[in-house]
Amino acid sequence: MPKIKPSKGAPYARILGVGGYRPTRVVPNEVILETIDSSDEWIRSRSGIETRHWANDEETVAAMSVEASGKAIADAGISAEQIGAVVVSTVSHFKQTPAVATEIADKLGTNKAAAFDISAGCAGFGYGLTLAKGLIVEGSAEYVLVIGVERLSDLTDLEDRATAFLFGDGAGAVVVGPSKEPAIGPTVWGSEGDKSETIKQTVPWTDYRDGTVEKFPAITQEGQAVFRWAVFEMAKVAQQALDVAGITSSDLDVFIPHQANERIIDSMVKTLKLPETVTVARDVRTTGNTSAASIPLAMERLLATGEAKSGDTALVIGFGAGLVYAATVVTLP
């Protein structure tokens, strides 16, 4: 019986380029206050959010992804034809099939790249990054495009006081390629499905279709339960990611957590005992919670503003609906 030849992939993988796209419309808290009984001070003190971006009709999931991806490909110094796979994480593409990744791959001009969507909520970027690393090391692709993109304004109940102010739209993308040395650490990831009711879609699409409910489905959550889980459990996961990467918090240059809530970010920084020298992403203030897009968008902004630099060691962690999570240590492009 003939033996299958071993794969000939790269020894390691790394992020080579990053790009982001934020919709043109900036929405301040004052707009949110038109439909909920709250205040600007309350929203800022509970979440840190001052503004968020909402997409217009032209800024579709695909259109935003193409814009962000074009920047990432240029930043990586490669051509679209060299992309071997496109991985898109989103929960807000409303066509069940085909995958939006196929449309994006075509519009970018890839050479028939493999393309597929994943649904992992706010941990989606970490899941996609892990898949990309595996594809490159295994030898199935030389370069992989990982996109996190959301139009959460389509899934926001503007009358829900607990969530109306949280969500924003946008796309972030990275190009992952071969590396001669480790630049993406082992991923600590998992799920806690017994807590799935804490962040969820209000009703299935079929209930809306069948007229069981009149209100379009939206994302809702149990705020306090999510906060406690994120603060106490995700700090442990972040520490595990440092441990398996073989570094300590003092070795970090940058911390890029999912941009869900600034209070959660502050609590994780304290629990992890991060030195003051570590740059902490706080993109949530002006971008809101963009789920799968939040980490690459925050990464792109830190590099663009000079708060982080190429070669920095960064801890990234995403967590959200499922409940799912993923954390890893990376070298910034």
The residues carrying an active-site annotation are: 122, 258, 289
How many CA atoms within 13 Å lie on the side-chain side of 146? 30
DSSP for 186-205, written as a single string: --EEEE-GGGGGGEEESS-H
**What's the token pair of residue 106?**
């075509």
Q: Are strands 188-191 and 199-201 parallel, antiparallel or unpaired?
A: unpaired
**Which candidate, 124, 53, 45, places its Cα nearest to that of 88?**
124
Contacts of residue 22, defined as CB under 8 A and 6 or more positions apart, other chains included, come to 53, 169, 170, 287, 297
Residue 149 CA to residue 92 CA, distance in Å, equals 8
**What's the token pair of residue 175?**
């190009």
Residue 211 CA to residue 37 CA, distance in Å, equals 29
Determine if the peptide bond prior to 98 is cis (ω within 30°).
yes
Neighbours of 194 (CB within 10 A): 8
Residue 197 CA to residue 323 CA, distance in Å, equals 9
Residue 142 CA to residue 178 CA, distance in Å, equals 7
Q: Are strands 143-151 and 83-89 parallel, antiparallel or unpaired?
A: parallel
